[in-house]
Amino acid sequence: MTDIARIEAAAFRLAGHALRTPLLGSAFLNDIAGRRVWVKAECLQHTGSFKFRGGWSAVSALPPEVRARGVIAYSSGNHAQGVALAAQRHGVPCVIVMPFDAPRLKIANTRAYGAEVVLYDRARENRDAIGARIAAERGLTLIKPYDEPEVIAGQGTTGLEIAEQAAELGITQADVLVCCGGGGLTAGIALALESRAPGLRARPCEPEGFDDTARSLASGTVQRNAQATGSICDAIVTPVPGAITFPINQRLCGPGLVVSDDEALQAIALAFSRLKIVLEPGGAVALAAALFRPDQIAGDDVIAVASGGNIDADLFRTALDRFGA
Amino acid sequence: MTDIARIEAAAFRLAGHALRTPLLGSAFLNDIAGRRVWVKAECLQHTGSFKFRGGWSAVSALPPEVRARGVIAYSSGNHAQGVALAAQRHGVPCVIVMPFDAPRLKIANTRAYGAEVVLYDRARENRDAIGARIAAERGLTLIKPYDEPEVIAGQGTTGLEIAEQAAELGITQADVLVCCGGGGLTAGIALALESRAPGLRARPCEPEGFDDTARSLASGTVQRNAQATGSICDAIVTPVPGAITFPINQRLCGPGLVVSDDEALQAIALAFSRLKIVLEPGGAVALAAALFRPDQIAGDDVIAVASGGNIDADLFRTALDRFGA
């Protein structure tokens, strides 16, 4: 299980390897939201998303003789890059199973980080089965994207930093909005806040049509999404809450928030003009919720985790075309 | 005069108000440059550029009864925003004299920070004369953009942070490339490095046709630019090195580096895809020099200051159109 001791152990292993990302703000965003908005800029993390934390945590936690045989992961792209770079820096082999329709940049980057990329069709194939088969054949250790205690612990280091940064700003009560796919980042942050900033509460944020975690929290039972594709928020399109992550999130999180793809694009354009950071749609839903769901949030401050920035230039141009100043 | 004590005093006044910006890196950029490239992301600073440091330093250094009457500044946009926000947060009046052809975003933002904006034509009018007249009429204190010791001290806090961050990375010898207009940021950083990281050397970076500082350093006498306009790097188009800044830079800086507008646009596109930060052309010339002038730089590491990110969406789209992945 992941607990605060495991998160702090992950923080110790990550020190000097992961970036302590800044907490950004802008008076312009405060005006839109009607309260102070703080943005934890994990898009600036190595590989362009928080996933490097979990990848490094999991790879660095393996016994050396196990790690030396190599690792494997399946991912729409950000977990792929996080695990690939962590493996490369540890000097061990890495195979990544990716959907063939993942953003080009993510596939190219994963290869550039030294990983062998195996593409599959997410509408017809089961990535878990593919990953398990290759892992068995080659003796690789499978690093799951969220249902893995050391991955959750690594993502939870984001929460330790938020707790510290909020304390520096004098913020003792606030919702912490987290972009949520399988729920690993949400669970890790929720656990860290429980111990280190109990007045802060994690809340998952999802795109419309893929709000499995919000509906599961609301109903008290695990809900699946009706479809597997159809949002631009590729990084957080997962079919169902995680078996390990959901019980944590059910115990600790406030209600989920849901935004449209267009609202995510608008948040991307505002992050460009107001914060000078690059977000991908799945990394912008928490900021979108902070800006466009003010009536579902309480308090003078809200913290939004901007979880990733791996967006193709075409889609970024679209965001600026439609919502740029 | 600005010395290390004045810079450290500015750092004390800025603590809790300015952001300690991260030093970012990317293996992809290292591959292009042929050495490790570290980017000091001052685009993430409040108001989107380092200028908030100098503005805050100068406004906070005024005697309270002088500060209460208000301040005035002239600027192509970034100094304007830095002084405007510093004045607003100190609760004092602020007038900003800006060229009418400054980026729309910069003019709009300066107004949004509560300043009264006075527009002028930079081809026909003298901003110094305009500023001096209004200051005298209203009893305002003129905050010059670079030839002002407290402004240089504020910009120098960037150098204190670079010294600390380089030490954390074990970097003891490196060129620190700085986007250079009037030379205030360059001078402040050079002074901070002289005392706190003597193995690091500041080097000014300028756009082609506006390389007055590079030519002045090379010739040993102050050189003017032949033209007043004609580069997209609006933030660092100044006619001549500063009277206070140039002697500092002459004593402490290595040779200047010069890049083209197209190279600045290419650096913007690479900062988008590899660092997830938004740069304006004048804030990208140091990164462009780090990437595209490898033969003019020595050592295993180079640090580039990404000094600002206030770019209009249209020009950013152009950078992605031409140089995006």
- B246 with B306, same domain? yes
Interface test with A, best of B276, B318, B320, B323 (most A CBs within 10 A): B276
Q: Do A277 and B272 touch (CB under 8 A)?
A: no
Contacts of B61 (CB under 8 A, 6+ apart): B10, B13, B150
- A89 with A158, same domain? no
- B87 with B226, same domain? no
Residue B19 with chain A: CB contacts under 8 Å: 22, 24
Interface test with B, best of A272, A276, A312 (most B CBs within 10 A): A276
pLDDT of A104 over the 90 cut: no
Pair A147, A242: CB distance under 8 Å: yes
* Average pLDDT of span A8-27: 97
CB contact, 8 Å: A273 with chain B?
yes
Q: Do A22 and B22 touch (CB under 8 A)?
A: yes
End residue of a domain, out of A115, A142, A169: A142
Q: How confident is the model at residue A109 (pLDDT cuts 50, 70, 90)?
A: confident
For residues A229 and B32, the model is more confident at: B32
- A30 with A177, same domain? yes
Q: Which pLDDT score, from 0 to 100, does residue A178 have?
A: 98
pLDDT in tens, B42-65: 999 999 999 999 999 999 999 999
CB contact, 8 Å: B322 with chain A?
no
For residues B247 and B105, the model is more confident at: B247
pLDDT of B34 over the 80 cut: yes
- The residues pairing with A94 across neighbouring beta strands, listed in sequence order, are A71
Q: Which pLDDT score, from 0 to 100, does residue A325 have?
A: 62
* Average pLDDT of span B18-24: 98
Residue B50 with chain A: CB contacts under 8 Å: none
pLDDT of B105 over the 80 cut: no
* Residue in B21, B112, B278 closest to A278 by CB: B278
Q: Which pLDDT score, from 0 to 100, does residue B325 have?
A: 62
Residue listed under structure tokens 């280091």: A157
User: Residue B159: CA atoms inside 13 Å, Cβ hemisphere, count?
Assistant: 36
Q: Which pLDDT score, from 0 to 100, does residue A228 have?
A: 85
pLDDT in tens, B172-215: 999 999 999 999 999 999 999 999 999 999 999 999 999 999 99
Transcribe A243-302 into DSSP letters: TTHHHHHHHH----EEE-HHHHHHHHHHIIIII-B---HHHHHHHHHHHH-GGG--SSEE
Q: Please report the residues numbered 169 through 228 in chain A whose beta carbons come closer than 8 angstroms to any beta carbon of chain B.
A: none
Residue A28 with chain B: CB contacts under 8 Å: 109, 112
pLDDT of A18 over the 80 cut: yes
- A42 with A182, same domain? yes
Q: Which pLDDT score, from 0 to 100, does residue B285 have?
A: 98
* Average pLDDT of span A135-159: 96
Nearest to A49 by CA among A80, A74, A71, A15: A80
Minimal C-alpha gap between A320 and chain B (Å):
6
pLDDT in tens, B250-302: 999 999 999 999 999 999 999 999 999 999 999 999 999 999 999 999 999 99
Q: How many CB atoms lie within 10 A of CB A79?
A: 31
- A46 with A57, same domain? no
- B62 with B121, same domain? yes
Q: Which pLDDT score, from 0 to 100, does residue B75 have?
A: 80
Q: How confident is the model at residue A234 (pLDDT cuts 50, 70, 90)?
A: confident
* Average pLDDT of span A196-201: 98
Residue A85 with chain B: CB contacts under 8 Å: 27
Residue listed under structure tokens 């500023």: B131
Q: Which pLDDT score, from 0 to 100, does residue B259 have?
A: 98
* Residue in A44, A312, A325 closest to B313 by CB: A325
Average pLDDT, chain B: 95
Tally of structural domains, chain A:
2
* Average pLDDT of span A23-50: 97
Tell me the C-alpha distance between A124 and B93, whole Å.
Answer: 64
Q: What CATH number is given to the structural domain containing A241?
A: 3.40.50.1100
- The residues pairing with B257 across neighbouring beta strands, listed in sequence order, are B205
Q: Which residue of A has its CA nearest to B309?
A: A276
Q: How confident is the model at residue A102 (pLDDT cuts 50, 70, 90)?
A: confident
End residue of a domain, out of A108, A142, A176: A142
- A18 with A125, same domain? no
Q: Do A48 and B276 touch (CB under 8 A)?
A: yes
Q: Which pLDDT score, from 0 to 100, does residue A202 have?
A: 98
Reported ipTM: the value is 0.95
* Residue in B109, B276, B312 closest to A43 by CB: B276
Token pair listed for A157? 């280091």
- B96 with B175, same domain? no
- B85 with B160, same domain? no
Minimal C-alpha gap between A103 and chain B (Å):
11
User: Apex CA A226: angle with CA A225 and CA A230, to 5°?
Assistant: 90
What percentage of chain A has pLDDT greater than the value 70?
99
- A106 with A176, same domain? no
pLDDT of B243 over the 70 cut: yes
Q: How confident is the model at residue B96 (pLDDT cuts 50, 70, 90)?
A: very high
Domain range enclosing B251? 4-50+149-323
- B44 with B57, same domain? no
CB contact, 8 Å: B104 with chain A?
yes
User: Residue B287: CA atoms inside 13 Å, Cβ hemisphere, count?
Assistant: 37
End residue of a domain, out of A142, A176, A199: A142
pLDDT in tens, A277-318: 999 999 999 999 999 999 999 999 999 999 999 999 999 999
